[in-house]
Structure 1
Amino acid sequence: MGARLLEAMNIGVMVYLGWHYNMQAWGIICTYLFLGNLRLSTREKWMIKSGLVVLVGMHALLWIAASPMMLTYKAIEVACVSITPFVPFIVFPFFIAGGLGFYRLSIRTGIRIPLNALVPWLAVYVWYYGVLNYHDIVGISIVVQLAHALQYLVVTTRVEANVGEKKHGRNGLVFTVAVYIVLLSLGYVVFELPGIIGMQTELTTVYTSGLTMLVISINLHHFFVDGAIWKISNPDVRKDLFSHLEAR
């Protein structure tokens, strides 16, 4: 029962992770379009965004088809493997539609699309191309996760620097980096604790299982909270994100 629950939670968190990746990219696209004084029409919005929604499904499909963690739900894995060869044919029309959406926006407004808005859109397609073609799913997942984290820092670091500057003067960015280093160090200790203290094998197994459940729970919480608070439609988010521009 415990193994099935853990595997089901893994599937759930990976599906949610796909949503997290792609909607983050969408948020950054909207941010840079906003900064470029570009406003999407409903049609243009869905021409671009629909491809990202499709990639959420492809994320789940590719992970389930190739993940070494799929031990219990073999029928689902087999079904996903059978669909995998058709992924490029499913995704490509939406990729073209997204490009046409940007083109339509540029023609309608007479404004060139900022490169910073195009890069996150193109990046997610590159990520999943790598996942589809690179057979070490764990290895490529690490690359994608790092790319996602770097992309994410565009927003969070800017907000923390702006907010930190108000609270701590000109050292807002320094404060943010210091907090990051402390949290990174604590994370290392938590994950490496069995080796650090010489934990016994049986206790290590229990500790690792508990830690896995904790990490999955934290990720689910992170994805949900992230989707709730980082909305450019929220005036408070816009204020914190763009306050450095107002100061110029």
Structure 2
Amino acid sequence: MALDLSVDASAPKAAAPGKYLFGPVVDFLMLGGSAFLILPILFLVPLEYEGLVAATMVVVAYLVNYPHFAHSYQIFYRNFGRKVSGNGYDRSLQLRYILAGIVVPLIMAAFFAYGAATANTRLLGYAANAMFFFVGWHYVKQGYGMLMVDAVLKRKFFDDRDKKILLVNSYAVWILAWLQTNTAVTQGKYYGLEYYTFAAPSWIANIAMLAAVASTAATILMLINRWRRNGRALPYNGIVAYVASLYLWILIARINPLWLLVVPALHSLQYLAVVWRYQTNVERDGQDAATNPKPEILSVLGPLYRLRVLGFIVGGAALGYLGFWLIPFVMTALIPYDKAVLGSSLFFFIVLIFINVHHYFLDNVMWRRGNPEVSKYLFR
């Protein structure tokens, strides 16, 4: 799960000062500000209400988490033939589309097919740890990407040195968080299957801690310097997104059991802010975008492009339900396997990990500087 977007001063000059994805308050809440409001409240909620919070987040998953995954597939595989043929895309980007869109899912499908066929629970369990590894990577890269997006919209750019500091800090915090969950060989359960953590040496964890502290300090100093150079102004919503992604959603995610249940929805909401804005600009580019839809009863929704954006969102919700529930349910009913060894939720386990990991590879291609669609539609 990554929004790997490294935009800079070469981005479209049409972006006006003070421009937002949706507005100052909405951007603040969707990009990460809601995390600062929700986390303190969760500390006041007794742990015996964990079941109620979990049930609520299941509903939220249908509305936020699943569509956020589905939207990446809708965008990535749209006009996929043109992308893999290199029509309008440079050679490097063409190869990335082929790798992420064809090679990676085939490799993962073969991996899970072998693990399930051989009932190799340890091999499948390591896939869960790999998912946690990529999820952390995705979160911090998306936080960095959100900061770069807001910087372009506000015309408050970071130079190459600033970006290196931000990226180094992102990776340092991510590695520290991942090592904190791998300080000893432990065993847990995920959808009924056991997964294992690694015994990372304590000296490596200590080095990671020092690196994270040092890079955080360097980042704070850089932001102060940038604030002065930018006329005492910064892309504040982007900074909120960056801080929330690194520290609240990754580094201290385990500070409260209830917080662990909420973080995925907040991360997904951050992603949706960009995707919905992007898709709105795509639909506005159509020749008939400003016309009224037919039949006339639909005109209450506004111009035709709004109806198409709504269709994109509804399609994402339906695709999310299909991927996370219907497909694994049907696979469980039709494909025989050793339930005594692998449990009754094997295909839910496989599909969830597959989509999470593949989502990272998809986003790593789509939201890159140099992708013509990003430069054309994201900053309008």
Deviations 1:118-158 (A, max 9, x none): 11121121223432533x4xx54332211111111111111
TM-score when normalising by structure 2: 0.53
Q: Contact conserved, 1:231 with 1:237, CA < 8 A, in 2?
A: yes
Task: State the one-letter code of the partner of 1:218.
Answer: I
Alignment equivalent of 1:32, drawn from 139, 150, 156: 150
The CA distance in 2 between the partners of 1:67 and 1:114, in whole Å, is: 42
Q: List runs of 5+ in structure 2 lacking aligned partners.
A: 1-117, 287-303
**Residue 155, structure 1, aligned to residue 291, structure 2:** no
Cα-Cα RMSD = 3.5
The CA distance in 2 between the partners of 1:170 and 1:10, in whole Å, is: 39
SS in 2 for 1:242: coil
**Change in 2 beyond 3 A, CA 1:133/1:64:** same
Q: Contact conserved, 1:164 with 1:175, CA < 8 A, in 2?
A: no
Task: State the one-letter code of the partner of 1:219.
Answer: N
- Cα drift, residue 20 of structure 1: 0.7
Q: Contact conserved, 2:249 with 2:263, CA < 8 A, in 1?
A: yes
SS in 1 for 2:182: helix
Alignment equivalent of 2:366, drawn from 222, 226, 229: 229
The CA distance in 2 between the partners of 1:58 and 1:219, in whole Å, is: 21
**Residue 47, structure 1, aligned to residue 168, structure 2:** no
Task: State the one-letter code of the partner of 1:145.
Answer: P
Q: Contact conserved, 1:164 with 1:171, CA < 8 A, in 2?
A: no
Q: List runs of 5+ in structure 1 lacking aligned partners.
A: 244-248
**2:111 is matched with which residue?**
none
Q: Contact conserved, 1:33 with 1:117, CA < 8 A, in 2?
A: yes
Q: Contact conserved, 1:48 with 1:102, CA < 8 A, in 2?
A: no
**Residue 102, structure 1, aligned to residue 223, structure 2:** yes
- Cα drift, residue 67 of structure 1: 7.1
**1:22 is matched with which residue?**
140
The CA distance in 1 between the partners of 2:134 and 2:324, in whole Å, is: 25
The CA distance in 2 between the partners of 1:17 and 1:97, in whole Å, is: 25
SS in 1 for 2:233: coil
The CA distance in 2 between the partners of 1:149 and 1:242, in whole Å, is: 20
The CA distance in 2 between the partners of 1:67 and 1:91, in whole Å, is: 27
Task: State the one-letter code of the partner of 1:68.
Answer: G
- Cα drift, residue 88 of structure 1: 5.9
- Cα drift, residue 14 of structure 1: 1.4
The CA distance in 2 between the partners of 1:59 and 1:156, in whole Å, is: 27
The CA distance in 2 between the partners of 1:191 and 1:80, in whole Å, is: 40
TM-score when normalising by structure 1: 0.77
The CA distance in 2 between the partners of 1:221 and 1:241, in whole Å, is: 22
Alignment equivalent of 1:178, drawn from 314, 325, 345: 314
**Residue 61, structure 1, aligned to residue 179, structure 2:** yes
Task: State the one-letter code of the partner of 2:225.
Answer: R
Q: Which moved more, 1:16-25 or 1:173-182?
A: 173-182
- Cα drift, residue 230 of structure 1: 0.9
- Cα drift, residue 233 of structure 1: 4.3
**2:247 is matched with which residue?**
125
Identity of aligned residues (%): 24
The CA distance in 2 between the partners of 1:174 and 1:72, in whole Å, is: 39
Q: Which moved more, 1:65-74 or 1:210-219?
A: 65-74
- Cα drift, residue 27 of structure 1: 0.8
Task: State the one-letter code of the partner of 2:148.
Answer: C
The CA distance in 1 between the partners of 2:173 and 2:213, in whole Å, is: 11
Q: Contact conserved, 1:64 with 1:80, CA < 8 A, in 2?
A: no
The CA distance in 1 between the partners of 2:249 and 2:217, in whole Å, is: 17
The CA distance in 2 between the partners of 1:103 and 1:232, in whole Å, is: 26
Task: State the one-letter code of the partner of 2:312.
Answer: T
| Structure showing the higher helix proportion among its residues | 1
Of the two structures, which has the highest relative contact order with CA contacts closer than 8 Å and spacing of 6 or more?
Answer: 2
SS in 2 for 1:68: strand
